[in-house]
Amino acid sequence: MTVKSYQNLDVWKNSIDLVVDVYKLTKKLPPEERYCLSDQMRRAVISIPSNIAEGQKRFTISDTVHFCSIALGSLAELETQILIVHKVYDLNVTDLQSKCEIISRMLHALIRSLRARQ
């Protein structure tokens, strides 16, 4: 699996789309969440494509796997925060949850593929 740029990775593209969706969702939250839940969600979602990109630019496969694992951790953090938004503010987050699940599967597949090359 040779990828010239992280921007060619579907998982990176989907993660960028997720960033946009989370920004739209956090705009719907009340102002008191601006420096708490909204900020945490934005940091977590930005971390996903950022770590995929950083890992792709590293020189070793183990480094790339490491950064993809960090992206998975950020994704899990975001999934938790999305659930909190749903429970506290009763917003429909089904689409975001589905997108997170797809990205999770893609990251796991990428990690498996990279490990097979080690």
Look at the domain 6-116 and name its fold: de novo design (two linked rop proteins) (1.20.1440)
- Residue-level pLDDT at 3: 60
pLDDT in tens, 70-104: 999 999 999 999 999 999 999 999 999 999 999 99
Of all helices (H) and strands (E), which one includes residue 67?
helix 61-89
Question: What residues does each domain of the chain span?
Answer: 6-116
What's residue 118's pLDDT? 84
Confidence at residue 33, expressed as pLDDT on a 0 to 100 scale = 93
pLDDT digits (tens, 9 = 90+) for 1-55: 456 799 999 999 999 999 999 999 999 999 999 899 999 999 999 999 999 999 9
| Whole-structure pTM value | 0.94
Report the C-alpha gap between 89 and 109 in whole angstroms.
33
Least confident of 17-21, 56-60, 65-69: 56-60
